[in-house]
A and B are shown apart, each in its own frame.
Chain A
Amino acid sequence: MWKLAWKDLYLQRNRLLLLMITAGLMINILVSVNDIGFLPAIFIFVFIGTYSFTIQTCYYEDKNNSLSFVRTLPVSTGQIAAGRFLALVIVTGGALVLGFAALTLFQLLNSSALNWSTIAGYGLFAALMNLCFNCVVVLVYYRWGYNKMQYVYAVTFMILFFGGMTVGTFFPGLPETISQISYGRILAYGLLAAAAILYFFWYASVNALNKLDLI
């Protein structure tokens, strides 16, 4: 499973590097602008980056027919799906770390007092939504193939992008509710929700892979 996840990361190394550089530049701009209103954009950007990773991984696999190659190796469909989701978790985790690093930098350089409890809640919510949508994309890819996956990708991209920007408008009481939850609880809820999402989509992906004919 680890080797399969590593393979996905290694094959996308140039893209991940490019994303890191772009993220660095964007963070630099946001920090220098010194406007707190731009901060949610950091999360939106880094998570869109994970989308790019998922899409490209599936795209190259589809283009080279390399899922057939992996299926010829003595590994189970469970391990194949687990490898893909593990890579996704690593990238999403990395994006989350990057987001918080940017905010910390913002606070340090601009001497602004950020509401960390709200940020942690939002960050986690965004990460879970992002993980969920990425998982949907992977499941659709395994079940119906890359072409159908592109439709789902477009829809979920819109939801993530515009939903992320307007979540505060739809749920005005959310920041206050979130700020009252302790960091430990936020982390525990987050991990539980992530585990549930991952298990559900992994199970469904294994079923899809078991039925998939690689003609």
Chain B
Amino acid sequence: MGTQKAVEFKNVIKRFPGFELYIDSLSLERGSITGLVGPNGAGKSTMIKMIMNLVHPDRGKITVLGRDCREREQEVKNLVGYVPEECRVYEEVTPDWTGQFVSHYYSSWDHGYFHALLQKFNLPGNKKVKELSKGNKMKLSLSLALAHKPELLLLDEPTSGLDPLVRHDLLQELMEVIQTESRSVLLSSHIIGDIEKVADYVGFLRQGSVVLDDDKESILERFKRVQFKLTETGQEDIVKDYFIQYNIKGSYFQGVTGEYSMEWFQELQRMDINSIQVLPLTLEEVMVALSREVV
């Protein structure tokens, strides 16, 4: 059981009119925080919903903690905590009632912990859900997802639509809660700053495909901005293949590579290119470079 992945996608296809999500192979390490990033409509939510069996793949297999998510749906859901983009609990009832209702379905539900989370998030347990702010509704969703001590936590754009202050607070509180316990977390967001703060691994989706999937540190080591002065005419035609994105201003060449290493650097030097400047990139800059298809 210890070597099992938190989530594994194999040959998963889901088609909607005008959109196709295709994940050839993707796995999430157990005990890690994986950030799923990509522009709106890239398929992040669909991917998470497929794990929860809310959206059914047309083909392929998804396993969660070693269990097929369709065949052993109830068992999987008992081990997973899910926070959707929008709080979808009943509006006419209170957080206390909701907690009581949900508690009947989880074998490991801890009511004391649920109330401790409500207190920690300053959530009134006796106020109707419809009277709560968007940030508080999100906190309620998070409390409901955490109170049964899930092994895997799925967070689908939890900070989306919140103002910066509430977003900061929620993220802070979220991190306190998820980092204190060794559970696997899959966090999707188009706010890359949020992912950069917390994730160990990053998956990048573009138009329904995973175009990058690696640990954060390695991505930041591999992706660099490189600039130098071109010394010969036609030199740009040779060097451009080394970059995923570039631009030339006069004789100055600036590009982004996703394969940076000492060997790569030395290869560039062998082309009579001198004064090479290598600059680090933020995760956001990497994602922007990957999002732009035109090189």
* B152 adjacent to chain A (CB < 8 Å): no
Q: Are A74 and B91 in contact (CB under 8 A)?
A: no
| Given A7-B101, A214-B54, A76 contacting B92 (CB threshold 8 A) | no
Contact of A73 among B56, B77, B92 (CB under 8 A): B77
Q: Which of A81-101 contact B (CB under 8 A)?
A: none
* B74 adjacent to chain A (CB < 8 Å): yes
Q: Are A73 and B105 in contact (CB under 8 A)?
A: yes
- Docked complex Cα distance between A213 and B21 (Å): 14
Q: Are A76 and B89 in contact (CB under 8 A)?
A: no
- Docked complex Cα distance between A72 and B89 (Å): 11
Contact of A211 among B52, B56, B78 (CB under 8 A): B56
Q: Are A75 and B105 in contact (CB under 8 A)?
A: yes
Q: Are B105 and A68 in contact (CB under 8 A)?
A: no
Q: Which of A48-82 contact B (CB under 8 A)?
A: 60, 64-66, 68-69, 71-76
Question: Looking at the complex, which of B80-88, B188-196, B221-229 is the stretch in contact with chain A?
Answer: B80-88
| Given A72-B82, A73-B102, A66 contacting B77 (CB threshold 8 A) | no
Contact of B89 among A69, A74, A211 (CB under 8 A): A69
Q: Are A72 and B52 in contact (CB under 8 A)?
A: yes
Q: By CB atoms of chain A within 10 A, which of B46, B86, B90 has the most?
A: B90
* A3 adjacent to chain B (CB < 8 Å): yes
Interface size of B as a range: 20 to 34
Task: Kindly list chain B residues whose C-beta atoms are within 8 Å of the C-beta of A21.
Answer: none
Q: Are B90 and A74 in contact (CB under 8 A)?
A: no
Q: Are B88 and A213 in contact (CB under 8 A)?
A: no
Q: Are B104 and A65 in contact (CB under 8 A)?
A: no
Q: Are B101 and A3 in contact (CB under 8 A)?
A: yes
B149 smallest CB distance to A (angstroms): 14
Q: Are B55 and A215 in contact (CB under 8 A)?
A: yes
Q: Are A11 and B88 in contact (CB under 8 A)?
A: no
- Docked complex Cα distance between A3 and B55 (Å): 25
Q: Mark A155-169, 1 if CB is under 8 A from B, else 0.
A: 000000000000000
Q: Are B74 and A75 in contact (CB under 8 A)?
A: yes
- Docked complex Cα distance between A210 and B70 (Å): 10
* B27 adjacent to chain A (CB < 8 Å): no
- Docked complex Cα distance between A7 and B90 (Å): 10
Q: Which of B175-213 contact A (CB under 8 A)?
A: none
- Docked complex Cα distance between A60 and B90 (Å): 8
A80 smallest CB distance to B (angstroms): 11
Closest to B52 in A: A72
Task: Kindly list chain B residues whose C-beta atoms are within 8 Å of the C-beta of A68.
Answer: 54, 84, 88
Task: Kindly list chain B residues whose C-beta atoms are within 8 Å of the C-beta of A65.
Answer: 86, 88
B94 smallest CB distance to A (angstroms): 12
Q: Is the interface of B mostly helix, strand, loop or mixed?
A: loop
| Given A74-B74, A213-B55, A60 contacting B92 (CB threshold 8 A) | yes
Q: Are A64 and B88 in contact (CB under 8 A)?
A: yes
* B291 adjacent to chain A (CB < 8 Å): no
Q: Are B77 and A74 in contact (CB under 8 A)?
A: yes
Closest to B97 in A: A10
Task: Kindly list chain A residues whose C-beta atoms are within 8 Å of the C-beta of B104.
Answer: 3
Q: Mark A173-215, 1 if CB is under 8 A from B, else 0.
A: 0000000000000000000000000000000000000110111
Task: Kindly list chain A residues whose C-beta atoms are within 8 Å of the C-beta of B5.
Answer: none
Q: Are B75 and A11 in contact (CB under 8 A)?
A: no
* B106 adjacent to chain A (CB < 8 Å): yes
- Docked complex Cα distance between A211 and B73 (Å): 14
Closest to B148 in A: A74
Task: Kindly list chain A residues whose C-beta atoms are within 8 Å of the C-beta of B55.
Answer: 213-215
Task: Kindly list chain A residues whose C-beta atoms are within 8 Å of the C-beta of B46.
Answer: 215
Q: Are A11 and B92 in contact (CB under 8 A)?
A: yes
Task: Kindly list chain B residues whose C-beta atoms are within 8 Å of the C-beta of A210.
Answer: 56
Task: Kindly list chain A residues whose C-beta atoms are within 8 Å of the C-beta of B78.
Answer: 74
Q: Are A72 and B54 in contact (CB under 8 A)?
A: yes
- Docked complex Cα distance between A43 and B92 (Å): 30
Q: By CB atoms of chain B within 10 A, which of A3, A68, A73 has the most?
A: A73
- Docked complex Cα distance between A186 and B230 (Å): 96
Which residues of B pack against A, CB within 8 Å?
Answer: 16, 46, 49, 52-56, 73-75, 77-78, 82, 84, 86, 88-93, 101-102, 104-106
Known: A69-B90, A72-B52. 17 other contacts (CB 8 A): A3-B101, A3-B105, A11-B92, A60-B91, A64-B89, A64-B91, A65-B88, A71-B53, A71-B54, A72-B82, A73-B77, A73-B102, A73-B105, A74-B77, A75-B105, A211-B56, A214-B55
Pick 16 A–B contacts, CB within 8 A, sort by A. A11-B93, A60-B92, A65-B86, A65-B88, A66-B90, A69-B88, A69-B89, A69-B90, A71-B52, A72-B54, A72-B82, A74-B73, A74-B105, A75-B74, A76-B73, A215-B46
